[in-house]
Structure 1
Amino acid sequence: MAGRKNLEVLTALDVAKTQWYHFTTIIIAGMGFFTDAYDLFCISIVTKLLGRIYYYNPAIKKPGVVPAGVNSALNGVALVGTLFGQLFFGWLGDKLGRKKVYGITLLIMIIFSLASGCSFGTTPKAVMTTLCFFRFWLGFGIGGDYPLSATIMSEYANTKTRGAFVAAVFAMQGIGILAAGAVGIISSSIFNHIYHVPIFNVDPVASTPHQADFLWRFIFALGAFPALATFYYRMKMPETARYTALIEGNQKQAAADMGKVLQIHIDADTNSAPEPHLQYKLFSAEFMRRHGVHLLGTTSCWFFLDVAFYSQNLFQKDVFSAIGWIPAAGTMSAVQEVYRIARAQTLIALCSTVPGYWVTVALIDHIGRWIIQLQGFFFMTVFMFSLAIPYDTLKAHNHIGFVILYALTFFFANFGPNSTTFIVPAELFPARFRSTCHGISAAAGKAGAIVGAFGFLYASQNQDPKLVDAGYHKGIGIKNTLIALGVINALGFLCTFMVPETNQRSLEEISGENEEDAAVEPVHDKAPRPIVGM
């Protein structure tokens, strides 16, 4: 069956040479992910400080510990907000346009990053409650950035380097994680130099001076400023040509917008617009026939990935403490503990997390999305079991080996499904559903992250009998948590077989939007490999 001729403006985008505007778009879109990672992962740096400030119990003569339920809430509430933001702004991006709602998400992040640092109350419960409230709305803004940034970048990019451009936007998340650690190191060092805080065993009260309350607030509030720096440029971006041409039906405006940003002349073709009567609705029988398995694949892979990935990130401070990489809390002050945790997180980010993102950027358009995702899940499974099975031996006798294996799980998460699950949903689905379907896929991922925050994070904590006797929760421990996460990664490996390869193909060819006959199968007829279950 002959396919409908693609619009001139879309063809021009697919074959356009890489230009400076592509790189500025990466920075503008990527800054949302920088803020996302900074805000979501700086909580692991300051959680123990919050415990020392607000939950010190003289009866057990140990540094205060945030109760497991409160700890899970602090980590999980932003993820809940992110999930709702992904669904809401994903849908809104298809209804109103990508550009019209793009600035709103960044503005929400700016406001509630600052508000998180200003959390108020006269009791620990009040402070934690207001902090959770502000972090929920911070997450809501962060969630909107997922479908909008991915969709905008994929719709701007050319076919040849689309994967690298979208991956580069997402790779800013790694820079945000690195920045969170760097800010923790620098701010705690300066604070400790000014106040000369004693260690806990010397003076349990003086080891957490009241000025330390400003430290965690400063770390939270600082996340607003990188986003603020790009707000103006985000508001100046034109609507994507694919939205303007395919959804609004204004080929002339699409050609004019893209001609300006790409600095080329594009003819407006008003005779090739898709016919409205051929357009099926979201979740209709036709949609499910064409894209039902694809949506199941993108949602399930992202769900399993985020259970493992966010659990690893959020309880890494507990892993480092368990293997002795971070000394016992009683041997250092509250501020020194912030420094140690931030330094460990920064080292992991620098040596494994950040390189994993950028290796994906370098290779994704050469070896494809599917292979990268499959091998990523495979090696995450291998290294997670390599940590879990000999956990007691590694913990007692080989700390360096433990850290290396732990770092490799982060490397292959990012040179693997953490990058590809973000990219593929922005390529698989038609323009009129693209932002919505990406939001649904991302929300499934955040549902997995919530399982990690409220489930695995909660289960892995507080094995100390004294803490349990004092009323703290007793979990299943880190070893059993690592085994469970290994199984989760294996399930993600299997679900990857429901996702087709999208490399080096136009978005309209992948989604079937340029098919003349609505009954023609889109992706899976032409995929370079069979899809299980199709």
Structure 2
Amino acid sequence: MAREQLQVLHALDEARTQRYHAWAVVIAGMGFFADAYDLFCITLVTRLLGRIYYHVPGRADPGRLPPRVDAAITGVTFCGMIVGQLLFGWLGDKVGRKKFYGKTVMLMIMGSFLSGLSFGNTAEGVMATLCFWRFWLGVGIGGDYPLSATIMSEYSNKRTRGSLIAAVFAMEGFGVLAGCIVTLVVSATFQARFNPPAYEEDPLASTPPQADYVWRIILMLGAIPAVFTYRWRVMMPETARYTALVARDAEKAARDMSKVLKVEFSGEPDKVEIITKDKDYGVFSGRFARRHGLHLVGAVACWFVLDVVFYSQNILQEEIFNDVKWVPEARTMSALEETYRVARGQAIIALCGTLPGYWFTIAFVDVVGRKAIQFLGFVMMKGLMLVVATFYHSLTQPGRRIWLVVMYTFTFFFANFGPNSTTFIIPAEIFPAHVRTTCHGISAAAGKVGAIVGSFGFLYASQRADGSDEAETGYPSGIGVRASLFVLAACNVLGILFTFLLPEPNGRSLEELSGEGSQAINGEDADLGDSKVLPL
């Protein structure tokens, strides 16, 4: 049975990697740079917020935010991301990928800049305003996920598609590092200018009034990369796959890609009509369930499990930093010095673990495949967490702390050279064009539900199991880092099992993967060969 593909889509699949690919990576990647900066920089200043707005004389740890406030600041951003992922994922299929691509950046600019202007007559008022703007920031960040991933996948050729999508996501690593660098510079500048004493020497003077500017400057600077991204996004042409296979405008798809590829294409409207006939089934239809239901379950479950583990690691990070003495007890430092030390520790993790993991994925994702990298990441994280959990108390002793840091850093490496990257890549490849951003948004939203579970579920568990007085610290004693790591190791096992539900997209066109857009010329439906089109 003869099959043909639209000329313009075949040209995109076979095109060599060239300047327009790099252009698309920069445009989409700068959004993720801003996403990561805005999302993770709040963790660098939460202890400073605790010192400024919730200082209680005599408390053992003056940098603790009350649990409800800490949970609210984290939770509202994730809730906003879930809304953005679902809403803009759906809109990306209904009205186009490009239509709202600039709108997500505008939300990010507004959310990050206005977060720094949070106001109120009381601590609760400031935190409520901060949460309000962080929610809208989350909506913008969330919308960026399905749109950027799908645009990059639909612009790419089939040989290097995985690397190009991974390169977009890898900009998160630079965003995290940029947040650390900005925090280091701002806190060090204010520290040198005002030279506050340690908390033990003078609790009140250890947090000078000017410290309130530090967290505001850090949050507001996140708007800068998003500002530069906006103009480029609104100038991008719509992807040919959306225009031809969803909007069914063959002539426009040919015109747009003729400008991009510098090659003339014919519109082939008759072929588009044949290819797209009866291809408008929805995500909740029986037809989708038969063809792609297990794939969506796999994508949703893997992203959920990954984010439970990934964001729990961030919660546990503070406790591990304390145990290896990277961040001394809060009583021995001023608020600005504590902010500096927290940022320095996270910068080391980003440089040694996070960034290399992303770039290993770029190098190998089109060589060994997405599933192999995802399996490797889950397996290695499981193994490393089991080792750290088993020998945790021994590894926190002087002379052995370096091994704890090394293994903990490698868990971040294998998260990013593993499922943190592949859960972003695979949903942008395996679903039909008319539901691609919707399915990616659903998968990403499931991940953020996992992030909420990981962040809130381990918010208390990550505290020391030393019987500390809850009234003194503001937190219950919890079950400790060691027990938490055993639970996270078990979560990685679930990730390994759900990976079996996903197909391997490596080296295959998007239309071959989804069964869309490549059609029998004699009018027979390519859907008849479901098991051949998309094997498990």
Unaligned stretches of 5+ in structure 2? none
The aligned amino acid for 2:245 is L
Tell me the equivalent position of 1:413: 415
In 2, the alpha carbon distance for the partners of 1:61 and 1:451 equals: 28
Counterpart mapping for 1:255-404 below 5 A: 255-273=254-272, 274-397=275-398, 398-404=400-406
**In 2, Cα distance between equivalents of 1:228 and 1:370:** 36
Residue 484 of structure 1 pairs with residue 480 of structure 2 = no
Q: Specify the alignment match of 1:68 in structure 2.
A: 67
**Per-residue deviation, 1:526:** 5.5
How far is the alpha carbon of 1:85 from its aligned partner?
A: 0.6
Aligned partner letter, 2:361: T
Deviation (angstroms), 1:24? 1.3
1:525 aligns with 2:535: no
Q: Distance in 1 between matches of 2:58 and 2:279?
A: 71
Aligned partner of 2:137 in structure 1 is: 138
1:459 partner letter: A
Q: Measure, in 2, the Cα distance between the counterparts of 1:327 and 1:418.
A: 31
Q: Deviations over 1:212-263 (max 9, x none)?
A: 0000011101000011011111110010000101111111111111111222
Q: Which runs of 5+ in 1 are unaligned?
A: none
- Alpha-carbon shift at residue 502 of structure 1 (Å): 0.3
Distance 1:434 1:464 in 2: 49
Aligned-pair CA distance for 1:278: 4.5
Question: Counterpart of 1:132 in structure 2: which amino acid?
Answer: C
Matched, 1:468 2:460: no
Percent of residue pairs identical: 55
Range that drifts further, 33-42 or 418-427: 33-42
* Correspondence for 2:225: 226
Pick closer, same or farther for the CA change 1:291–1:90 going to 2, 3 Å: same
How much has 1:471 moved relative to structure 2? 6.5
Whole-Å separation in 1 of the counterparts to 2:305 and 2:326: 28
User: Given the alignment of the two structures, is residue 494 of structure 1 paired with residue 493 of structure 2, yes or no?
Assistant: no
Is the contact made by 2:50 and 2:64 (CA closer than 8 Å) also made in structure 1? Answer: yes
Separation in structure 2 between the aligned mates of residue 278 and residue 99 of structure 1, nearest angstrom: 22
Cα distance in 1, alignment partners of residues 54 and 279 from structure 2: 61
2:353/2:410 contact within 8 Å kept: yes
Higher mean C-alpha deviation, range 473-482 or range 461-470: 461-470
Alignment of structure 1 residues 192-271 onto 2, 5 Å: 192-271=191-270
The alignment yields a C-alpha RMSD, in angstroms, of 1.5
8 A Cα contact 2:248 2:276, kept in partner: no
Looking at structure 2, the residues matched to 204 and 105 of structure 1 have their Cα atoms a distance apart, in angstroms, of: 42
Asked if the contact 2:146/2:441 (under 8 Å) is kept, the reply is yes
**TM-aligned CA distance change 1:239 to 1:519, over 3 Å:** closer
Do 2:60 and 2:472's aligned partners in 1 also have CA atoms closer than 8 Å? no
In 2, Cα distance between equivalents of 1:6 and 1:184: 51
Distance in 2 separating the partners of 1:78 and 1:166: 24
Shift of 1:164: 0.5
In 2, distance between residues paired with 1:120 and 1:407? 37
SS at match of 2:64: coil
| Deviation, structure 1 residue 318 | 2.6
Q: C-alpha deviations, 1:480-509, integer Å up to 9, x for none?
A: 111111111111111110111000111000
CA separation of 1:278/1:190 partners in 2, compared to 1, >3 Å: closer, same or farther? closer
Distance 1:222 1:314, change over 3 A: farther
Does structure 1 conserve the Cα–Cα contact (< 8 Å) formed by 2:315 and 2:458?
Answer: no
> Which digits, 9 at most, give the CA deviation of each residue in 1:325-366, with x for residues without a partner?
211111111000011000000000001100100110011111
2:513 aligns with one of 510, 515, 523: 510
1:277 offset after TM fit, Å?
A: 2.8
| TM, length-normalised to structure 2 | 0.96
Residue type at the aligned position of 1:343: R
The 3 A distance-change label for structure 1 pair 180 and 65 is same
What CA distance in whole angstroms lies between the structure 1 residues aligned with 2:316 and 2:70? 10
Paired residues for 1:10-49 under 5 Å:
10-49=9-48
Q: Displacement, 1:426?
A: 0.5
Distance 1:146 1:301, change over 3 A: same
How has the CA–CA distance of structure 1 residues 35 and 275 changed in structure 2, closer, same or farther, with 3 Å as cutoff? closer
Aligned residues: 527
1:160-199 alignment runs, 5 A limit: 160-199=159-198
Contact kept? 1:146, 1:439, Cα under 8 Å: yes
Q: Which sits farther off after the overlay, 148-157 or 35-44?
A: 35-44
User: CA 1:471/1:390 → structure 2, altered by over 3 Å: closer, same or farther?
Assistant: closer
Q: Is the 8 A contact 2:245 2:276 kept in 1?
A: no
